[in-house]
């Protein structure tokens, strides 16, 4: 049980003297609550696995500190940290039975035999592995093997946090849901801090109560799934989360007005002072842009195609040089390819150099 603090933590695989831009993980300071369910979300190569390996101690940071409950554990080896980690591919010890696999971490730590038996029994029941305790672990399916790797972490009573490194990659789709809800249930039951690395937004948003989005070695936003959806702090979060992603178009912003392609869109807040020389863009999710018949007050667009997602339809349109995705209201049909766009001003955000600008109400 622990709160984990990262203090100015950074890492470069080519040493501390490497140019700051080449760092796999740029300096980050943040806190992971005791008992939180976190997802580390980002595309491949964004530094999320590096961050995970720094916390578990597999990688030693070039810079900064890691605190567990306030005490500095940066120099401690993986063995001495109370951390469990589940890897992308199930790691099981081939020659051992399921029971021996689960007992392995306790045996290595010299736990008394009676206690080992009791812990293994409890964890096996928790993970529905009890019927297989005497089977050779190699004979099981991938999801059962992944449960064993998880069980080896849970079996230790001292574990502060469990780290997952894309643990469902090799699991069949229908089993993914089962295993993920199992993880949620375990999280509720055991009050453990869980950090879950993934590049799949559905996985992240369904698992976690706090999603940490990473991009190019930086933590760009951390918040609840709703916050990430409603108010992306960075244009990257905008288009990485949501399907289709956020519309981000260059615009001219002045006070409560944004100008795109000569057309004026009303804004909910006042953006009086914008950083000069910055690249100004507005971002709006396709869910908050509606297609309407062309009219004089609307931004006019050319429809390129319409994607029917079953319950909802999105139109891909072109306005001048920029592309938009917009919602097609039910029952709407356009005579020709011309349409107007209706914006919901409350959900139009302004970005300066890719970062969200908070306007004044």
Partner 1 sequence: MDKVVNQKAWFLVLPVFLVVAFSAVLPLMTVVNYSMQDTFGNNQFFWNGVGWFKELLDPSTDLGERFFASLWRNLIFSAIILAIEIPLGIVVALSMPREGWTVAVCLVILALPLLIPWNVVGTIWQIFGRPDIGLLGYTLNHLGLHYNYVSNELDAWATVIVMDVWHWTSLVALLCYAGLKSIPDAYYQAAQIDGASRWAVFRAIQLPKMNRVLLIAVLLRFMDSFMIYTEPFVVTGGGPGNSTTFISIELVKIALGQFDLGKAAALSLVYNLIILIVCWVFYTVMTNAGAERPQKEGAV
Provide, rounded to whole angstroms, the least separation between the CB of residue 161 and partner 1: 12
Residue ranges in 60-208 assigned as alpha helix (H): 98-108, 113-126, 142-154, 173-190, 201-207
349-361 burial code (b ≥16 CB/10 A, e <16): bbbbebebbebee
Cα atoms found within 13 Å of the Cα of residue 62, Cβ hemisphere only: 19
Residue 95 lies near partner 1 (rule: CB under 8 A): yes
> 13 or 93, CB closer to partner 1?
93
**Options 53-61, 175-183, 218-226, 276-284: segment touching partner 1 (CB under 8 A):** 53-61
Residue 109 lies near partner 1 (rule: CB under 8 A): yes
Residue 56 lies near partner 1 (rule: CB under 8 A): yes
Provide, rounded to whole angstroms, the least separation between the CB of residue 109 and partner 1: 5
> 12 or 53, CB closer to partner 1?
53
Please give the Cα distance from 203 to 241 (Å, whole number): 12
> 92 or 212, CB closer to partner 1?
92
Provide, rounded to whole angstroms, the least separation between the CB of residue 44 and partner 1: 17
Four-point Cα dihedral 311, 316, 319, 321, nearest 10:
150
The answer to whether 87 and 142 are in contact (CB under 8 A) is no
- Helix H or strand E segment including 228: helix 225-230
Q: Given candidates 32, 38, 68, 132, which one binds partner 1 under the rule CB under 8 A?
A: 132
Footprint of partner 1 on 208-267 (CB under 8 A):
none
Q: Given candidates 84, 205, 260, 356, which one binds partner 1 under the rule CB under 8 A?
A: 84
Q: Given candidates 54, 73, 144, 326, which one binds partner 1 under the rule CB under 8 A?
A: 144
> 156 or 316, CB closer to partner 1?
156
Q: Given candidates 85, 146, 193, 247, which one binds partner 1 under the rule CB under 8 A?
A: 85
DSSP one-letter string for 193-216: EEEEEES-HHHHHHH-SEEEEEET
Residue 88 lies near partner 1 (rule: CB under 8 A): yes
**Strand, coil or helix: 339:** strand
**Options 139-147, 180-188, 234-242, 291-299: segment touching partner 1 (CB under 8 A):** 139-147
Provide, rounded to whole angstroms, the least separation between the CB of residue 264 and partner 1: 55
- Helix H or strand E segment including 235: helix 235-240
Please give the Cα distance from 43 to 45 (Å, whole number): 6
Residue 157 lies near partner 1 (rule: CB under 8 A): no
Q: Are strands 193-198 and 37-41 parallel, antiparallel or unpaired?
A: parallel
Please give the Cα distance from 244 to 316 (Å, whole number): 10
Q: Given candidates 12, 149, 201, 247, which one binds partner 1 under the rule CB under 8 A?
A: 149
Q: Given candidates 138, 178, 202, 270, which one binds partner 1 under the rule CB under 8 A?
A: 138
Please give the Cα distance from 158 to 119 (Å, whole number): 12
N-term to C-term CA, the chain: 42
Please give the Cα distance from 40 to 46 (Å, whole number): 10
Q: Given candidates 32, 104, 229, 271, which one binds partner 1 under the rule CB under 8 A?
A: 104
Please give the Cα distance from 3 to 22 (Å, whole number): 29
Residue 302 lies near partner 1 (rule: CB under 8 A): no
Q: Given candidates 96, 130, 249, 274, which one binds partner 1 under the rule CB under 8 A?
A: 96
> 139 or 188, CB closer to partner 1?
139
Q: Given candidates 91, 133, 190, 274, which one binds partner 1 under the rule CB under 8 A?
A: 91
> By the criterion CB under 8 A, which residues form the site for partner 1?
53, 56-58, 77-79, 83-85, 87-89, 91, 93-96, 104-105, 108-109, 132, 136, 138-141, 144, 149, 152-153
């Amino acid at each position: 049980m622990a709160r984990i603090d990262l203090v100015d933590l950074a890492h470069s695989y080519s040493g501390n003297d490497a140019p700051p831009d080449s760092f796999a993980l740029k300096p980050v300071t943040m806190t992971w609550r005791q008992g939180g369910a976190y997802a580390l979300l980002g595309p491949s190569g964004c530094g999320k696995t590096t961050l995970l390996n720094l916390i578990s101690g597999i990688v030693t940071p070039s810079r900064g500190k890691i605190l567990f409950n306030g005490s500095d554990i940066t120099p401690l080896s993986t063995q001495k940290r109370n951390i469990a980690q589940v890897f992308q591919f199930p790691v099981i010890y081939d020659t051992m039975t399921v029971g021996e696999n689960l007992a392995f971490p306790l045996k290595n730590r010299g736990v008394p035999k009676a206690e080992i038996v009791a812990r293994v029994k409890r964890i096996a029941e928790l993970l529905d592995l009890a019927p297989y305790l005497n089977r050779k672990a190699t004979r099981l399916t991938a999801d059962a093997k992944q449960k064993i790797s998880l069980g080896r972490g849970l079996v230790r009573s001292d574990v502060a946090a469990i780290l997952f490194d894309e643990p469902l990659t090799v699991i069949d789709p229908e089993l993914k849901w089962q295993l993920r809800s199992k993880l949620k249930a375990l999280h509720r039951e055991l009050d453990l801090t869980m950090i879950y690395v993934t590049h799949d937004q559905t996985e992240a948003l369904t698992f976690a109560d706090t999603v940490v989005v990473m991009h190019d070695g930086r933590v760009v936003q951390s918040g609840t799934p709703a916050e990430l959806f409603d108010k992306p702090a960075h244009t990257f979060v905008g288009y990485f989360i949501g399907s289709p992603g956020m519309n981000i178009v260059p615009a001219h912003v002045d006070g409560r007005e944004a100008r795109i392609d000569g057309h004026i869109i009303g804004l909910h807040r006042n953006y009086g002072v914008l950083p000069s020389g910055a690249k100004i863009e507005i971002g709006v999710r396709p869910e908050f842009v509606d297609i309407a018949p062309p009219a004089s007050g609307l931004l006019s667009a050319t429809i390129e195609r319409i994607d029917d997602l079953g319950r909802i339809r999105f139109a891909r349109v072109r306005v001048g040089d920029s592309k938009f995705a917009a919602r097609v209201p039910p029952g709407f049909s356009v005579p020709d390819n011309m349409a107007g766009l209706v914006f919901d001003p409350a959900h139009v955000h302004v970005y300066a150099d890719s970062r969200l600008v908070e306007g004044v109400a």
